[in-house]
Amino acid sequence: MNHKILSKFADAEILINDNAFDKINLLDDPVAVSSALIADIISQGKKTRDLIIVSTEMLDTFLEKNNIEISSNEKKEYFSQDIDTQSMENEAIDKIENNLRLKQELIDNNSISEEISNKIDEIVSEIPSEIQAKTKPIKEVEFNFEIIQDTSKKSYTCGDIKDMISYFNNRYHRIKDILVKRRELKDYSNIADIFQSKDVVKIIGMVKDLRTTKNNHKILEIEDDTGEISVLIHNDNHKLFEKSEMIVRDEILGIIGSRKGNFVIASELIHPGVPRIEEKPMNFSTVFISDVHIGSCTFQEEAFNKFINWINGNFGTPEQVKIAEDVKYLIVAGDIVDGIGVYPHQEKELTIKDITKQYDEAARLFGEIREDIKIIIAPGNHDASRVAEPQPAVPEEYAKSLYQLKNVEFVSNPSIVSLDGIKTLIYHGRSFDDLAMTVKGLSHEESDLIMRELLEKRHIAPIYGERTPLASELEDHLVIDEIPDIFHTGHVHINSYKKYKGVHMINSGTFQSQTEFQKIYNIIPTCGEVPVLNRGNFKLLKFN
Ligand code: D5M
Ligand code: FE
Ligand code: ZN
């Protein structure tokens, strides 16, 4: 009996002092009381790494609260079954009878059969009902988490020219499918057919090239399956000209205009666009971070530790602690570690110069986070995944220790996940560099404007062949087929938030202070500022 009680506490990672242990053994049902006491401690929010020692004082309070008295009756054995410790399943039972929280984890991980689940319930039900009734129920978190789109295992390209053709064809047709649903473009024509018509022409094409004439008009070279045509945007048409400033090479759009010889004079430019989406209720909180850069000299560990303490309910104002209690999901949009050899002479700026050790340190830090939060990790350009986008999930071979954390899910960059029905598009944000460089009015500081453009263009990285290396897959995985409820990005190291047509567009900043590289580009990071969607309301919590 004694070893059973001790192992109960040990399994729950709770210590018990000698006097309290002796006292428990004087009770009628020491095993049942131990189970109830452990359940009570856990239900009060014990964290895995909290050191809890049951003292006689604590035991007395518990006994008093539950009207349990010490009597000299014969001790009863509540767990009469002989547990076969050889069997893996029964070993699980042995643990679970002592730790309801562990049971929940196993259920969450789908690693528990119905039969075992029933057995556990049976064992738990043997705790006397009067004690059960007085014990607070353990917070059982039910996750309705789903990976809707992940490209980790879908990368088949061998880099052939054939792949390039099918890549662009796929991109064109997927976005065209969205455009043809636009009322204005229902009666569009193929480019090859417009030379017969004189009046209004409507075409859907990819921007092969664009330039500004010496008189400051804009010319787009537009291509579809059937041909090519030059489209002129006259600068007298101020509104249209302004809109055309946002157009980039390789995007797909609809054009309405009139044909003049071999030109189309545009009167309207139509993006695939974003229909307003209806807001869905969220009865939980989701936390968004990115660009932690663990292993870098400029990683702000102190701020990150404050963040961990907050999420675990141990730091912040009462209002902030209340938000922390609601947290169910934590999304990490890339650059978890600083990586190795990402830029020249990076080693001078690293505290950890080994990629596996960087992920070990990440596992240590993320492992501090309470286990009833699901952590979803996508890679960034500093992570150990291939750099070409779509980037497969952080590879297990470099991040074994991170993969050992039970509450972590690894997804590709970009990816789409459903958090209890809230569709979330996660993208690190490398293409922001290209858009900020190419488009007047777009900058790293205002990534919300860039996110809006990407949604309007329905593509994560519209410009092909610039700084963002794109893998020419047979299929274009970067097309935004469906509008998400949340669009979460990172990379620029500057927080931003905007709600656009009902979509929460969030850039989660960084935990890295300014690097030498960022000094040159005058990038001033917002460090340790963490966006949270608290039951649908945006909050920015500061840990800097
Ligand atoms: O990116 C950190 C910051 O540096 C972010 O603001 C983008 C900027 N950055 C990174 N690479 C480039 C290039 N090639 N051009 C311009 N700006 C860049 P990180 O991915 O964390 O290094
Ligand atoms: Fe970064
Ligand atoms: Zn980055």
* Residue 248 confidence (pLDDT): 97
Least reliable range by pLDDT among 84-93, 189-198, 306-315, 469-478: 84-93
> Is residue 159 assigned to a domain?
no
- In ligand 1, the atom with minimum distance to the C-alpha of 343 is 22
Amino acid identity, residue 351?
Answer: T
- In ligand 1, the atom with minimum distance to the C-alpha of 432 is 7
- In ligand 1, the atom with minimum distance to the C-alpha of 493 is 6
* Residue 93 confidence (pLDDT): 45
Q: Is 258 exposed, middle or buried (0-12, 13-18, 19+ CB in 10 A)?
A: middle
Residue ranges near ligand 2 (ion) with Cβ within 5 Å: 291, 335
Which of 240, 270, 300 terminates a domain? The answer is 270
Q: How many domains does the chain have?
A: 3
Domain coverage including residue 459: 285-542
* Residue 18 confidence (pLDDT): 80
> Is residue 23 assigned to a domain?
yes
Residue 94 has pLDDT above 60, yes or no: no
262 and 372 belong to one structural domain: no
109 and 230 belong to one structural domain: no
Ligand 1, atom 7: closest residue by C-alpha: 492
336 and 421 belong to one structural domain: yes
462 and 381 belong to one structural domain: yes
- Average pLDDT of the chain to the nearest whole number: 87
Q: In what order do the strands lie in the sheet with 285-289?
A: 408-410, 374-378, 327-333, 285-289, 529-534, 537-542
pLDDT 10s digits, 195-246: 887 689 999 999 999 999 999 999 999 999 999 999 999 999 999 999 999 9
* Residue 67 confidence (pLDDT): 82
> Is residue 152 assigned to a domain?
no
* Residue 286 confidence (pLDDT): 98
Residue 160 has pLDDT above 90, yes or no: no
* Residue 19 confidence (pLDDT): 81
264 and 329 belong to one structural domain: no
> Is residue 330 assigned to a domain?
yes
Cα radius of gyration (the chain): 29
- HSE-up of residue 356 (Cα within 13 Å, Cβ side): 5
Q: Give the domain CATH number at 393.
A: 3.60.21.50
> Is residue 484 assigned to a domain?
yes
295 and 242 belong to one structural domain: no
Which of 132, 147, 166 terminates a domain? The answer is 132
Regarding the beta carbon of 66 and ligand 1, being less than 6 Å apart is answered: no
Least reliable range by pLDDT among 94-108, 211-225, 375-389: 94-108
Confidence of residue 112 (pLDDT cuts 50, 70, 90): low
Residue with tokens 């709600």: 499
* Residue 126 confidence (pLDDT): 62
346 and 397 belong to one structural domain: yes
For residues 131 and 141, what is the distance between their CA atoms, to the nearest angstrom? 23
Residue 419 has pLDDT above 70, yes or no: yes
Confidence of residue 44 (pLDDT cuts 50, 70, 90): confident
> Is residue 154 assigned to a domain?
no
302 and 259 belong to one structural domain: no
259 and 327 belong to one structural domain: no
Return the beta strands (E) in 380-463 as ranges.
408-410, 415-419, 422-427
222 and 333 belong to one structural domain: no
Return the beta strands (E) in 26-121 as ranges.
52-54
pLDDT 10s digits, 486-531: 999 999 999 999 999 999 999 999 999 999 889 998 999 999 999 9
The answer to whether the peptide bond before residue 390 is cis (omega within 30 degrees of 0) is: yes
Counting residues of the chain whose pLDDT is more than 90, the rounded percentage is 65
266 and 302 belong to one structural domain: no
* Residue 58 confidence (pLDDT): 86
For the residues 251-266, what does the mean pLDDT come to? Answer: 95
Report the separation in Å between the CA atom of 27 and the middle of ligand 3, taken as the mean of its atom positions.
59
> Is residue 279 assigned to a domain?
no
Report the separation in Å between the CA atom of 469 and the middle of ligand 1, taken as the mean of its atom positions.
14
> Is residue 157 assigned to a domain?
no
> How many degrees, rounded to 5, is the angle at CA 194 between CA 190 and CA 200?
110
Q: Give the domain CATH number at 214.
A: 2.40.50.140
SS3 call for 164: helix
Confidence of residue 50 (pLDDT cuts 50, 70, 90): low
Tokens in use for 528?
């340790």
- pTM of whole model > 0.75? yes
* Residue 74 confidence (pLDDT): 41
Nearest residue to 205 (alpha-carbon basis) of 186, 226, 187: 226
259 and 304 belong to one structural domain: no
Residue with tokens 């944000």: 429
